[in-house]
Amino acid sequence: MLHSIQEWTIQHAEQTEDVHWFMDLPELMAFISIVILRGVTRVPSLRDCWSANLGNPQIIGTMPRNRFQDIMQHLRFDDRSTRSDRAKTDKFAAISSVWGSFVTNCITCYNPGLHITVDEQLFPSKTRCCFLQYIASKPDKFGIKFWVACDLKSKYICNVLPYLGKDPNRPSGERLSENVVMRLMEPFLDKGRNVTTDNFFTSLSLAQKLLRRKTTILGTVNKIRREIPQSARYKDRNEFTTQVFSTSAATLTAYAAKRKKTVYILSSMHSVVQTDNTTKRKPNTVTLYNTTKCGVDVMDQMLREYTVRRGTRRWPVAVFYNMIDMAALNAHVLYQACTGTQERRVDFLVELARELANSHMAGKKARKEQLPQTQPSTPSPGKRATCQVKHKCKNNHATVRCVHCYRYTCGKCRLQIPWQCQDCE
């Protein structure tokens, strides 16, 4: 994935700039480490990350701000010359290759538990793309929608699919909800797991399909579904009463949580429905659903707490931000599972960013140590060149080198040394 991003970023930079442009893998990893640290520190703007008052020393020491902005400007994830042809059949063509590798890694690196939750995630974004969604009930309204399968216990993201609008490859007559659940659960079927869904996904036909693959379903059912019998559609029920309907494949529980509000729960893992001895007399299907429904919602809250999301006009970059958020969360889960230690997520993210930048920092240190060997011991006026510092200038001419790094430096970018007497020196 890193090699692919490096290749297409260099290709875009060379096509748009006259000078030779290069970025090695350690520098790309250092760039990602700064992106992660920006999500942890939460400074107001990009300029503040390198400021003297609000800046993070780890960010300042990793990479100059101009270089970070330069990489961000050219960041690409596919071959731009063939994108138009691929986009005719794949709306996600600008990042589909890298995204596919990321999803494959998520599936193969973790073995989820008994309960998996399937739900939607709206990643906030207002970039222009043909599959941007507007959902009034969400906090951010606009964004790119993803279908997510998440492990209930660890909140590990097992599988994720982007919603790109109408899919021509979907079989005719098959519901979108059924197609999404079967695609998300495909790597985890035939192993006796249970999937928890909300009323958008749950249906009797889906329960039958999953049951044939040794997988059960538990979820709420929309009251307008045809699967609900007429005898269960009472508007006025006595409070805390339960009515059960069963077929060979699933059990439907109608529970009156309030006098004029009935909750319908479809379950293919419960052959017998029992109520508890409390005042509300909740059925065991409702109790288990309340326990297992929150996987994706909690995962989304965890991502938003330390998100790397920033304003951008390119939707592939917005998807890349979401990918980093998900990868960092999955890495934290895998780290705790493999080492057996409990560590705060913020501490893990800081250490992750530091390790990503280690190779780049080591290379910078090695080049700095070799510099005095390749340059003369004392700087001497050289040929007329362009300023290499560019701290307070834009391509000014310079004839003098710095005494420490031996870069050509113009008058605006030189350090103002205070006046000193000979005794103090």
Burial class (CB in 10 A: 0-12, 13-18, 19+), 147: buried
Please, is 229 exposed, middle or buried when counting C-beta atoms within 10 Å of its C-beta (0-12, 13-18, 19+)?
exposed
CB-based burial, 332-359: b 16+ in 10 Å, e otherwise: bbeeeeeeeeeeebeebbbebbeebbee
Classify residue 323 by burial, with Cβ atoms within 10 Å: 0-12, 13-18, 19+.
buried
Do the bridges between strand 216-220 and strand 194-197 make them parallel or antiparallel, or are there none, so unpaired? parallel
- pLDDT computed for residue 20 by the predictor: 84
Question: How is residue 241 written in tokens?
Answer: 């009463």
Place of tokens 């707490």: 305
Q: What is the pLDDT of residue 380?
A: 55
Q: Report pLDDT for 379.
A: 47
3-class DSSP assignment, residue 107 = helix
Residue 239, CA atoms < 13 Å, CB-side half-sphere? 4
The predicted structure's pLDDT at residue 59: 93
Stretches where the chain sits below pLDDT 70 are 18, 235, 371-383, 425
| Close Cβ partners of 27 (under 8 Å, ≥ 6 residues apart) | 63, 71, 360
* Residue 142 near residue 341 (C-beta atoms within 8 A): no
Tokens found for residue 53: 């008052």
The domains of the chain are located at: 199-292
Residue of 314, 306, 304 lying closest to 72 (CA atoms): 314
Query: Residue 11 and residue 80: Cα distance in Å, rounded?
Result: 9
